[in-house]
Amino acid sequence: MKLRISNTCLLFIAINALGLRAAYAQQATLSWKLHNVGKVRQVTTNVGALNAVNDGMFSYPGLINCEYPVGSFEEHLVSGGIWIGGVVGGDTLVSVTEGEGSSREFFPSSAPWDSMWAVSRGDTVQIPYWSNYVGVSDQDLVCRYTDYGPTSLRVANHIPLYLDVIQTSYAWGSPPLDEFLVFNYYIMPARINLDNMYLTCWINGNVGNSTIGDYALDDESFFRRDRMIAMSIDLPGGADGDAYGPLGDKVFPPTAHRTSDSLRLTYQWYNGRQQGLPGRDNERYQQMTSGIIMQDQQSTGDGTKAQVSFGPYRLQVGDTLHLVRVLVLGRGVQGVYKNADDVDILIRKNFRVPSPPPPPPLRVETLNHQVRLLWEPRPGDINPENYYDPNRADSISRPFEGYRVYKSTRSATGPWTLLAEFDDSTNTFGQNTGLAYEYTDFGLLNNLDYFYAVTAFSKPDTVTGFPSQESSRNAVAKLAVPGPKPPQTVGAVAVVPNPYRGDIPYYSYNPPWEKPAGQRERWMEQDRRIQFINLPELCSINIYTLAGGLVTTIHHNDPIKGYEDWNLTSSVGQAISSGLYLFTAQDLRTSQVQVGKFVIIK
């Protein structure tokens, strides 16, 4: 396959004199998206960087990168990217998407459509540089970038190779494919032919619980040539305890455009406290082509920066070089190896494996102490019961089998509890409970967050033994907050809890009364919470000290929910102290006022 990219204007990003932080114009088409349908949560960007850190260019909330399992706060990758090196007129040049010792040198254009594209399996999308793109996985992400636009040319000491790169990445939401991410790089020379071209897959793997300081100081890296996989692994014990599993970076070197029958392979690991990555092109290229495979790293106290390089290739203008790398996770080293074997099978089958049905169209109704879920397709909705899967060996035309209902009291990424399963009763699969399209969850606490997902699952493929496939829970999860409708006016407004006690770990409740904002795991002072309940649709709440000083005002305007939260800080951002406080709740439609009091004990 040959893909061509038109030469458009690129982002205008000014790199400051120190080269530590990127600043960019408002019209810049910088974009990131999150792979989150399976058991791996990974940020991808349209500059080719696998990087979640808020570096002035991207700001991903929570700063979790390559989290596995989802919700564990176990991080595996600080950053990663590719290097491309070649010989041009006798010079050895290297262009870098991400890597210590170098600024980023690839950027997308400023066109509004040159962001990250998300495509579901089987969907056809018209991407300007890829007509009729058809989704391969449950969650495809597509972007492009080059090393020779105006922004790239502003990078200090950067000499471009004039490369266009289209990047696609694949994620699946159901076993056995939900513990790895596949990245495809389509590399195309735009202006000059490249001789002695080498490719590098670079990672900075830090494995451990990201909420614990110095969690990456007991990591090691090693390479297994027979599997073409570089591993970043957390050693037992240490400040972060034992990690669930390591990170494997599995590489499939291109076979086309080689200039030698034998692959020249290099593996290099670094300890950041003792040595740095090369920063000049000639030094990078010399390392990429050295042919040295280092022995397994012995932990020396600073993570596992490692790279796998291979070549040589010769690429002419009009050619396309297709590189595949896979981030493989799993339970322990053997779990990673098992998943890597599944990757090999997937690649050999050209990604033609059974797929899950599409998720049902979930609708949520909140009531007093209950949540009602409905998912029967309406006219115009996609009906998962009608889906067709051409990649099955059993020739079942409609492999849909049933629905599953899940709840989480923590987040939209779980952990999940299975509430119910409804499956087709006309065959020998499953429990034969019969299909249903409605479920009501009773006995809930009002005004607290609950998360629900309804998935569709398929029959197993009995010919190949491929297991039943289920649509992703994380991709379709919906928030539901049960509670009564707002009353007609004030009169029953109350404060919960009253008294509020600072010695009670409200964040440990299930569901949590207080919880960290965003992706933080640990509770902080600003997460304190009391709640004013039984509020009419339009009202205001004034909070006073016992001496009559106004602490803050809360405005409420909501026809559905009858409550407002307060984090115990004043209008100027100061945390309040222990004591007795007064409040007035005024109905702004009737001017009726209710007076009340509550106690804070810290």
d(C-alpha 600, C-alpha 602), whole Å: 6
What's the Rg (C-alpha) of the chain?
27
Name the β-bridge partners of 184. Answer: 168, 324
Q: Write the DSSP symbol of residue 314.
A: E
Residue type, 511: P
d(C-alpha 20, C-alpha 594), whole Å: 55
Q: 332-345 burial, b for 16+ CB within 10 Å, e for fewer? A: eeebbbebbebbee
Strands 180-189 and 321-328: antiparallel
Find the farthest-apart pair of alpha carbons in the chain and give their distance in angstroms, rounded: 86
292, 307 in Cβ contact below 8 A? no
Which residue has 């596992």 as its token pair?
304
Q: Write the DSSP symbol of residue 504.
A: S
Name the β-bridge partners of 91. Answer: 88
Q: Look at residue 24 in the predicted model and tell me its pLDDT.
A: 45
Work out the number of other CB atoms within 10 angstroms of the CB of residue 92: 19
Which residue has 């090691």 as its token pair?
220
d(C-alpha 72, C-alpha 411), whole Å: 12
d(C-alpha 497, C-alpha 532), whole Å: 9
Among 546, 551, 544, smallest CA distance to 580 is for 546
Q: How many Å from the N-terminal Cα to the C-terminal Cα in the chain?
A: 66
Q: Look at residue 430 in the predicted model and tell me its pLDDT.
A: 87
d(C-alpha 64, C-alpha 76), whole Å: 9
Residues of the chain with CATH 2.60.40.4070: 494-601
Q: Write the DSSP symbol of residue 384.
A: G
Q: Is residue 47 helix, strand or coil?
A: coil
Query: What average pLDDT values come out for the chain (602 residues) when binned by 10 residues?
Result: 36 31 53 92 91 65 77 88 93 90 87 93 95 96 95 90 98 96 98 95 88 77 95 84 92 94 92 65 93 85 82 96 98 97 96 94 96 97 94 91 97 93 93 96 96 97 94 93 95 97 93 81 86 97 97 96 96 94 97 97 93
Q: 13-348 adopts what CATH topology?
A: Beta-galactosidase; Chain A, domain 5 (2.70.98)
Structure tokens at 515: 């919880």
Q: 363-480 adopts what CATH topology?
A: Immunoglobulin-like (2.60.40)
Structure tokens at 352: 């033609």
d(C-alpha 133, C-alpha 121), whole Å: 11
Listed in sequence order, the residues at least 6 apart from 585 whose beta carbon sits closer than 8 Å to its beta carbon are: 490, 493, 532, 535, 539, 540, 541, 593, 594, 596
Name the β-bridge partners of 209. Answer: 74
171, 138 in Cβ contact below 8 A? yes
50, 80 in Cβ contact below 8 A? yes
| CA dist list (Å): 161 to 85, 95, 229, 576, 578 | 8, 7, 27, 59, 64
Work out the number of other CB atoms within 10 angstroms of the CB of residue 512: 18
d(C-alpha 503, C-alpha 511), whole Å: 18
Residue type, 286: Q
d(C-alpha 19, C-alpha 13), whole Å: 12
Structure tokens at 304: 């596992």
Residues of the chain with CATH 2.60.40.10: 363-480
Q: What's the CATH number of domain 494-601, 2.60.40.4070, 3.20.20.140, 1.10.3720.10, 1.10.10.10?
A: 2.60.40.4070
Residues of the chain with CATH 2.70.98: 13-348
171, 183 in Cβ contact below 8 A? no
What pTM, to 2 d.p., does this model score? 0.86
Structure tokens at 166: 């289209």
Q: Look at residue 515 in the predicted model and tell me its pLDDT.
A: 87
Residue type, 222: F
